[in-house]
Amino acid sequence: MTIENADSRRRRRPRPPRPKGRRLSSVLRQLAADQSRERISIGDLFQTMGDRAISALMLIFALPNAFPTPPGTSALLGAPLVFLAVQLTFGLKPWLPKAIAARSIRREDFETIVGRIHRWLAWAERMLQPRLAIFAEPPAEYLAGLSCLLLSIVLVLPVPLGNILPAITISVFAFGIMGRDGLFALIGFIMTTVSLVVAGGVIYGLVKAGIYLVMQWFG
């Protein structure tokens, strides 16, 4: 074997698979069933998911917003997404300020949220498989992080029903990156365009209606 062939084989060697642990759905159910806790904080989730990728943490914060949730959930879970999306964009380790990590909800509410998303989460975990890796690994992974950053900003805004589509899109990205499933990531890129167009239309309509009301008030 020549040196050139050896170098070529080293360059083409696939990346080793990520270590497999307990499924995310099982971890969340166990945390939700822990009756020794009165409240579940974002810090608790970080401590539980500390060995997982940023994508797994983003999924935890995004997926609940795709379903009807208690008031304030969008603001509670949306802010961490902004920080995590920035870190995904630049390939950094997960970190959140203490002010955000200390936010919490009642364990019963968390259990309700987990109960609603568990079936869908378990279904998606079974669907994941390594494919179309070019869309789920760097540099596409960093572009996915930028897309999630824009979507998470929309998610935090008080836009009526504006959190569902961005939350689903971020969740699709998170599944794709977490499972190195480029098909999920590719769908996420397509959904990003749709989400931003819809959110932009809603925001434009609200601003236009606000200007109209102000003009009518002072007219």
Rounded to 10 degrees, what is the CA torsion of 100, 106, 108, 114?
-10
Written as six digits, the tokens of 1 are: 């074997």
203, pLDDT greater than 90: no
Rounded to 10 degrees, what is the CA torsion of 156, 149, 187, 13?
-150
38, pLDDT greater than 50: yes
Q: Are 148 and 172 in contact (CB under 8 A)?
A: no
Strand ranges (E), the chain: 39-41, 104-106
Bigger pLDDT: 9 or 74? Answer: 74
How large a percentage of the chain has pLDDT more than 90?
20
pTM of the model: 0.75
Q: Is 71 helix (H, G, I), strand (E, B) or coil?
A: coil
Bigger pLDDT: 213 or 184? Answer: 184
